[in-house]
């Protein structure tokens, strides 16, 4: 299909300019989770917290580390992992979830993508409480490097944004994609050093980590939370992913945007 870059560009710019709409929709969705429940979105936080609390005493000895160094690592990693992967899995449903409006109105579809990203940033702000508690309780060293968390969030969010557009499109056309993505995420969770330290994998197996994009995505947020700076390699990977991902997505969006209402 012939790409129409003007339409894709207009959609993207109008989408960004409509920040009032997507910030509101993102908030509204979080507020809905608060309605009629006591903990609201904190239920997700509680379940991650309970998981960490239960597993830390098994895994710390299993991976031959002490709880005081394992616990911050596990909680920062898991909270980041949840943020990045929820973004990806919810991204699959961006356009199918917006069927009623996409098939009735002409508006920048990227509003829906930014809404998903924004909502997940808000949810992350809930979940990060676990890390804060752990860091304070175990007196993890806080340094200037901790501030790198902010650019880390931005890098992950911007990577997540192109992924939600790309996966949203592909999932609207091919309905097998969302469960497939779910499966891949599940496998990646065990392949990526979240539960175990990367140093524990022998030198021969290091390429599994070095070329794992998800590892670098986690690292740019996890390392600052633990008071250290992420490696330059992680920045290189995630920023390259951001640029290449956006270029590819933009091209595909220019080709297939007009098809989206037909797919729904």
- Give the binding site for other proteins (CB under 8 A): 7, 20-21, 24-25, 28, 32, 35, 100-107, 173, 175, 258-259, 261-263
Q: Which residue has the tokens 């109008």?
A: 14
CA distance 126 to 42: 6
Query: Minimum distance from CB of 161 to other proteins (Å)?
Result: 20
Cβ closest to other proteins, residue 93 vs residue 261: 261
| Three-state secondary structure string covering 7-60 | HHHHHHHHHHHCHHHHHHHHHHHHHHHHCCCCCCCHHHHHHHHHHHHHHHHHHH
Q: Residue 243's closest CA among 168, 148, 161, 167?
A: 161
Closer residue to other proteins (CB): 105 or 232: 105
> Helix H segments across 98-231?
99-102, 110-137, 149-173, 177-191, 206-210, 213-225
Comparing CB distances to other proteins, the nearer of 173 and 227 is 173
Shortest separation between residue 261's beta carbon and other proteins, angstroms:
6
The SS3 call for residue 64 is: coil
Look up residue 176 and give its two tokens: 């097998």
- Residue 53: C-alpha distances to residues 67, 91, 124 (Å): 11, 29, 19
Is the CB of 141 or the CB of 175 nearer to other proteins? 175
d(CA 229, CA 171): 36
What's the closest the beta carbon of residue 40 comes to other proteins, in angstroms?
13
| 44/67 with CB nearer other proteins | 44
Q: Nearest distance from residue 49's CB to other proteins, in Å?
A: 26
Q: Rounded to the nearest whole angstrom, what is the least distance from the CB of residue 25 to other proteins in the complex?
A: 7
Q: Which is nearer to other proteins, 213 or 263 (CB)?
A: 263
Number of Cβ within a 10 Å radius of residue 25:
17
Q: Which tokens sit at 42?
A: 């904190």
Residue whose entry in the numeric block shows the structure tokens 């524990």: 200
Nearer to other proteins, 20 or 64 (CB): 20
- Smallest gap from Cβ 48 to other proteins, in A, equals 24
Smallest distance, Å, CB 34 to other proteins? 11
């Amino acid at each position: 299909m012939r790409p129409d870059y003007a339409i894709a560009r207009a959609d993207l710019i109008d989408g960004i300019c409509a920040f009032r709409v997507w910030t509101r929709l993102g908030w509204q969705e979080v507020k809905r989770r608060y309605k009629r429940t006591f903990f609201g979105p904190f239920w997700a936080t509680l379940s991650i917290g309970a998981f960490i609390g239960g597993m830390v005493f098994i895994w710390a000895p299993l991976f031959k580390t002490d709880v005081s160094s394992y616990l911050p690592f596990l909680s920062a990693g898991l909270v980041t992992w949840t943020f990045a992967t929820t973004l990806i899995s919810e991204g699959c449903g961006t356009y199918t979830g917006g069927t009623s409006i996409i098939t009735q109105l002409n508006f920048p579809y990227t509003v829906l993508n930014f809404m998903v990203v924004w909502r997940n940033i808000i949810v992350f702000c809930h979940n990060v409480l676990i890390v804060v508690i752990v860091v304070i309780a175990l007196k993890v060293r806080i340094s200037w490097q901790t501030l790198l968390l902010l650019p880390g969030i931005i890098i992950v969010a911007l990577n997540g944004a192109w992924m939600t557009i790309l996966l949203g499109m592909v999932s609207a056309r091919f309905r097998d994609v969302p469960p497939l993505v779910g499966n891949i995420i599940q496998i990646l969770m065990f392949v990526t050093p979240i539960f175990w330290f990367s140093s524990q994998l022998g030198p021969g197996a290091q390429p599994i980590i070095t070329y794992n994009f998800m590892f670098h995505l986690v690292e740019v947020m996890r390392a600052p939370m633990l008071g250290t700076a992420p490696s330059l390699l992680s920045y290189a990977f995630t920023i390259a992913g951001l640029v290449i991902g956006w270029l590819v997505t933009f091209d595909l969006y220019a080709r297939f945007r007009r098809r989206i209402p037909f797919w729904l």
